[in-house]
Each structure stands twice: as structure tokens, then as C-alpha cells.
Structure 1
């Protein structure tokens, strides 16, 4: 959930100030491969690299850039482009919303598996219950306390949390993350799908409510841990401005164009 929560908090600094580098590892607990994620944050900007699939995401100037190194291309997502995309997708989302009303439990479960999240039934959903427990742990040298997230009484996530001020560089990271989360939330408002908006808002609310930085998080499905993300290291360092630039020679693509 480190990056389910994906992916939250606002601070403005100059590029001359030290930034932050965060290393995390995400594991599929059903036997899938581990994914290494490197995140750099500085001056309200963010860069996320994922291996082994070699994808890169850059956030700056209120725009999210999804970069494909395979074909040396990138897609830019800002409020204007998301509004245009919403205008094209909304008719299909309306049809999906109607179809969901008549889905069998099996069909709904299949769709939720594809989306990686529970789909609300259309009505407003109760806020998740976020509870700080008395369980403590030490993960990769970081002392932490477990927080549980429950929806309708069912455990969906557990996170071992460290106070943000206990991790050097966390303020810079949280500043950039919050700035990006505001953009994502604003983008979702143009989508004609209440359940998508609820999912986005829930992630923001959950992040703000856990009270710190998770050093390990586990996502549960039907009472069993499905995936796990752990913090390997976090450090304060000056990040070169070029880390937040689109690589030279890469071509911009329309995000609605067929792949």
C-alpha cells in the first residue's frame, strides 16, 4: 500500500535544498516476482522508477508523465488532458455503471480482481476504519507500530508506521506526494464514475489518517495477505534537476491513442 496509497503532502523548497531518495520492494505473496521501486522527491517534484519492467513516472509542473523506455515515448497527463479523456470515456463509464447494477456476484468479483479494488455498489460508502494497534515491530532497522485498515469490519490492509519526523527526508517526499495526490483527485472529479472518485478519495484519506510513513504494508483479500511492500532505505540527498526531465529524443504520444 506504500504505493497503492500511492502514492501525499505540500511543501515548497528550492532545487538547491536536499531532496529525498526512497527505495522500496513490492512482493506478490502468491509467488510472483519482487518489484524494486526507487523514488526521488525534491522541490514538489517526484520521479518513480520500477524494475524489472523499467517504467518511469515523473511528476512536475502539475503534470504526470508516464515514460516508456521500450519505445522511447511518453504520455503527459494534466488537468486539461484528463478532462478531454473523461469526455471520451464518460459514455462508456455510464454504461459500465448501469451494467454493474445487474452483475452477478461472480462477475463483480472478476471485475474487482482486474481493478485490484472493491467496487462500491453505487451508494456512498462508509469511511474505512483506521485503528492504531499496540503491536510494535522493527523492520529493516526502523521501529514501527502497526495500523489496521478495515472496511465493513473486514481487514484490508495493515501497515507498520513510523512517525514522519523520525525518517530523514520524509518531509520532502510527503510534500511531493501530497501535491501529486491533489492533482489526481482533481482529475478524478471529471470522470463520470462515483466509484472511481470514492476509490481515489479513500486512498488520500487513508494516507493522511495513518499518522506517519509505512515501513511495511500488506494488502489482504478474503483475510489473506495478497501483496507486501517494504521500505529498504530512505535518505536525504540533492537530486539533479535533470532527474525530473523527459529524456532527450523521446516522443510525446496521445494517451488515448491505441497502443
Structure 2
């Protein structure tokens, strides 16, 4: 869900000194724990998962997705997004035609497989509500906020007021910059459903009223995963932190795999 991704990004950057953020995502079934490290400085970002499976770098209005497995990367900018849309639109139109004949059960199953709402489907009513529940996570006093879709709980986040966290103003500004670039990219392609989803998630995040230090995702009323802030520090980073590793090969993201 985009709101969880934005929750991490809003804890990620500063315009002067850099910020390093460490969060831990736990699969509550006990299957897997993933550490996510985020570096940010001067409007640039680097997000890396551990085990070291992938890295995302954002700089110069371009998003780079890096694969360490085969030492390659792809670059996503406005031009590549437009080319991708031109190739995907026919397939999306076919999918929307197919959905017209699906039963509600078939639609629900496909949404579950794809991890979200299908394009062209009925928009779910989303509600964000601040509760009276409070907690203290890694030294930060926070208040729980619930996210519901069609009345069903999908996420709960423990939110810290922006002025209570180190470098909060810069963090918010950096996240908004990335969101603005994404919105501009999407505005140039024929994917109104995707643009609407992006805009809605950013609007919803603004409604949280602060910065989440913990987020918990639910499915069918049961908690599935939890992401928690474990550490945040400020320091100046070398420019190489936000560069593609030497020797990595650029790949066309639209090329057949």
C-alpha cells in the first residue's frame, strides 16, 4: 500500500545535513524480518533492504531501481513512464473489459493477488481517524491513527507530531518533493486510475497529522505485517551514497526479461 511507503519516505531526508533512518519490517506470521535503511540529503534518497536484495535511489528527478544480484539498474523518469504507459494501456483496457464479466468473488481474488484495487473498479471509501490510544515507541510518544476502507481496518499507525522529531520539517519537504515528481510523471501518461491513487494516498498521508514511527497492516481483520522505527541519526554523507555502484549495467525497464 502506498501510504506505508510514504510513511517511510517521510522519515528520510534533510536539506542541509543528511539523515539516516533505520526501520524494521516484520512479517507477523514469523516468516521474515527485513531491515530498511534510508539515507537522504539535499533532496536525494537511497532506500536499501537487508538482506541486500535491492536499492532505490532518487536524484535529479529520476528514480533508479538497482539489482545487486546481476549488477544492473533501471532508470524511471518522465520519458520512460510515458513509453511504459503506451505499451501497458492496451493490456489495461483488455483487463478492464474482462473485469466486466467477473463475479465479485473473482474480482476480490484478483485484487488480493495484485495487492491492491483493480483499475477501473469501484473506488473504495477510505477513512482516516485519530484515536484516543497512545503509546511510546523507541522514546517517541505517539497517537494511533486508523485507516479503514469501506469500514474495514486496513492499517493503524502510531503518529508523532512533526515538531517532536529531529529534522521533521526537512523530512516532510523531501517526501513532498518525491511525491510531486511522481505526480508529474503520472500526469503525462494515460493512466488516470494510477494518478488518482497516487494523489489520494498523498492527501491521506497529509491527514495523518504527523510522522508514523510504527505502522501495522491488516488483512481480513488480522495483522499481517508491522514496520517500526528503530533508529534515526543526522550526519553529512558523501555524494557516492547516492550514486549507481561502479560496474553496474543500465537496462531498459521495458525490455523483455
Correspondence 1:145 to 2:143: yes
Counterpart contact for 1:7–1:181, Cα < 8 Å: no
Which residue in the other structure is 1:3 paired with? 5
Correspondence 1:115 to 2:114: yes
Relative contact order higher in (CA < 8 Å, ≥ 6 apart): 1
Alpha-carbon distance in structure 1 between the residues aligned to 2:189 and 2:172:
26
SS in 1 for 2:30: coil
Aligned CA RMSD, in angstroms, stands at: 2.2
| Residues 126-145 of structure 1 mapped to structure 2, 5 A cutoff | 126=125, 128-145=126-143
Summarize deviations over 1:14-57 as a string: whole Å, max 9, x none: xxx21111100111222320111000111111100011142100
Greater mean deviation of Cα atoms: 79-88 or 108-117:
108-117
Summarize deviations over 1:182-228 as a string: whole Å, max 9, x none: 22223333554444333322221121110111111111112111211
Alpha-carbon distance in structure 1 between the residues aligned to 2:154 and 2:234:
32
Q: Rate the CA distance shift 1:165–1:180 in 2: closer, same or farther, 3 A.
A: same
TM-score by length of 2: 0.90
Counterpart contact for 1:21–1:38, Cα < 8 Å: yes
List alignment gaps of at least 5 residues for structure 1: none
Counterpart contact for 2:37–2:48, Cα < 8 Å: yes
Which residue in the other structure is 1:59 paired with? 58
Task: State the aligned residue count.
Answer: 254
SS in 1 for 2:5: coil
Alpha-carbon distance in structure 1 between the residues aligned to 2:20 and 2:183:
25
Q: Rate the CA distance shift 1:194–1:98 in 2: closer, same or farther, 3 A.
A: farther
Q: Rate the CA distance shift 1:141–1:117 in 2: closer, same or farther, 3 A.
A: same
Q: Rate the CA distance shift 1:92–1:121 in 2: closer, same or farther, 3 A.
A: closer
Q: Please state how far the C-alpha of 1:155 moved relative to its aligned partner.
A: 1.3
Which residue in the other structure is 1:89 paired with? 88
Summarize deviations over 1:114-147 as a string: whole Å, max 9, x none: 2222336635554x21111111001122110001
Counterpart contact for 1:8–1:180, Cα < 8 Å: no
SS in 2 for 1:106: helix
Counterpart contact for 2:128–2:146, Cα < 8 Å: yes
